[in-house]
């Protein structure tokens, strides 16, 4: 297995992985080729893919605002789960954030995504009960 930085050239295979992963919340504009391209351009050192025999089997998106890291769209192909790939992706991202002097990272998981919640809890991510997550779509085309 190889962990490497994600590039926009990986988009087609990564998008296919995302859309075939249960519990993934995709947005039409944000997760389009152009949207992911902007995200990678803004965050060139914190997004990773896992490859086995030159085949993409895992991905993690992460960006930061100079203060907090934000993890998005972490996925590993079903047949490759339980092999440490998700852990390796998260560690690569956390190491990248540390190099950029980011001291805290957050993420959002759907309540119904039991597998995802179990994964993040096993990594030490705490569930916050003292916050209200709020969302506002400022572009109605971003479904």
Cα 86 to Cα 19, 38, 111: the distances in Å are: 17, 24, 19
Distance CA 2, CA 53 (A): 9
Which run of H or E residues covers position 52? strand 48-52
Domain ranges of the chain: 2-122
% of the chain residues with pLDDT over 70: 100
In this prediction, residue 140 carries a pLDDT of 85
Paired residues of 52 in beta bridges: 55
Compute φ and ψ for 79, nearest 5 degrees.
-70, -10
Contact 49, 56 (CB under 8 A): yes
Distance CA 6, CA 50 (A): 9
Answer whether residue 103 shows pLDDT above 90.
yes
Q: What is the mean pLDDT of the chain?
A: 95
The string of pLDDT tens digits covering residues 6-31 is: 999 999 999 999 999 988 888 889 99
Distance CA 86, CA 80 (A): 9
In this prediction, residue 51 carries a pLDDT of 98
- The class of domain 2-122 in CATH terms is alpha beta
Answer whether residue 101 shows pLDDT above 90.
yes
Give CA angle at 4 (24, 51), nearest 5°: 65
Phi-psi bin for 99: left (phi > 0), alpha (psi -120 to 50), beta? Answer: alpha
């Amino acid at each position: 297995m190889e962990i490497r930085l994600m590039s926009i050239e990986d988009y087609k295979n990564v998008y296919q992985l995302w859309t075939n992963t249960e519990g993934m919340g995709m947005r039409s504009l944000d997760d389009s080729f152009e949207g992911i391209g902007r995200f990678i351009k803004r965050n060139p050192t914190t997004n990773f893919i896992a490859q086995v025999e030159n085949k993409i089997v895992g991905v993690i998106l992460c960006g930061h605002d100079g203060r907090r890291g934000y993890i998005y769209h972490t996925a590993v192909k079903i047949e490759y789960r339980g092999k440490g790939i998700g852990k390796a992706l998260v560690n690569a991202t956390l190491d990248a954030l540390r190099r950029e002097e980011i001291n805290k990272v957050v993420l959002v998981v759907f309540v119904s995504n039991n597998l995802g919640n179990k994964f993040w809890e096993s990594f030490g991510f705490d569930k916050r009960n003292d916050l209200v997550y709020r969302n506002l779509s400022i572009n109605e085309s971003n479904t």
